[in-house]
Amino acid sequence: MRGRHTADEGGGPMPVVRTNGISLGYEEYGAGEPVVMVTGTGAPGRVWRAHQVPALTAAGYRVITFDHRGFSPEGASGQPFTLDDMAADLAGLLTHVSPGPCRVVGFSLGSVVVQELLVARPELVRRAVLMATIGRADLLVRAMAAAEIDLCDSGVALPPRYAAYVQALQYLSAETLGDPDGLRGWLDVFEMTATGNSAGMRGQLGLQVIEDRRAAYRHIQCPCLVVGFADDRVVRPRLAEEVAACIPGCRYTEISGCGHFGYLEKPEPVNSAILDFFAEPDR
């Protein structure tokens, strides 16, 4: 039985779907045509609650968020998995929550998962928004992934205040870094979440180190919108723009004044871009 919550209520236990040999926890909000949200590395589905769930449900969509493998209900298994596994997980969830193709929104690693799904199972997706995505891993992406893996495997836990400072520099825009009031809130959030689910995240680290997939993406026929964030130091906008250039008919839009966490840093223009794209007639 599917659980369904409004965007402002806590709800009961997270419903679960068994797919691809694992159990995925997911939640539904609102009513209407389904939109499935796919998070980035190490992030649980609840990150969409603050801004995207309210905007999409208010526009009349049924929003489905979920936790990637490695999180509850099963937790980290220690078994390695691939992007293809994550795309197959997503395929199983889509067939569970929607009788036909539906709209999908991805962010960072989640966008790459969606792109691989569009190659393998194009019939499942009606429209896709790909935020902060890549079609190939350049030297900086590879260096970042290797460094994160080394840190995770070392067992060293950074002091929360230091971890918060590093994350602020890595993920936020110069505009936010220069705003003392706004920055204080971000530092508090980063400090509180500094000891997150590192075991669940470990399996995802390195999956963004993909070979050049742009040739494969040229066969994608689903209407797509790629969203880049102007101050993104993790996925520089030119990498996202490359993906838009190789998907037939894909559009690219860039949101100013935000870094890698643009969907949280500047939610209004991001939400407007998503909603405008979803409201367009299918081609």
CB 125 within 8 A of CB 117: yes
Question: Could you tell me if residue 78 is left (phi over 0), alpha (psi between -120 and 50 degrees) or otherwise beta?
Answer: left
How long a stretch of residues is the chain? 283
Active site residue 150: no
User: What's the sign of the alpha-carbon dihedral 62, 85, 113, 74?
Assistant: positive
Q: Is 39 helix (H, G, I), strand (E, B) or coil?
A: coil
Catalytic residue chosen out of the listed positions 108, 111, 173, 231: 108
Catalytic residue chosen out of the listed positions 5, 68, 98, 260: 260
CA distance 90 to 95: 9
Provide the H-helix boundaries in the chain: 52-58, 83-97, 109-120, 139-154, 160-171, 174-177, 180-192, 198-202, 214-217, 237-246, 262-265, 267-279
Residues 6+ apart with CB under 8 A from 246: 135, 214, 215, 217, 218
Q: Is 48 helix (H, G, I), strand (E, B) or coil?
A: helix
Residue of 52, 242, 46, 215 lying closest to 141 (CA atoms): 242
Distances (CA, A) of 107 to 113, 124, 130, 180: 9, 18, 6, 27
Cα 141 to chain center, whole Å? 16
Catalytic residue chosen out of the listed positions 85, 89, 231, 232: 232
CA distance 130 to 213: 15
Q: Is 77 helix (H, G, I), strand (E, B) or coil?
A: coil
Active site residue 260: yes
Residue of 212, 282, 275 lying closest to 246 (CA atoms): 212
Active site residue 108: yes
Positions marked catalytic: 108, 232, 260
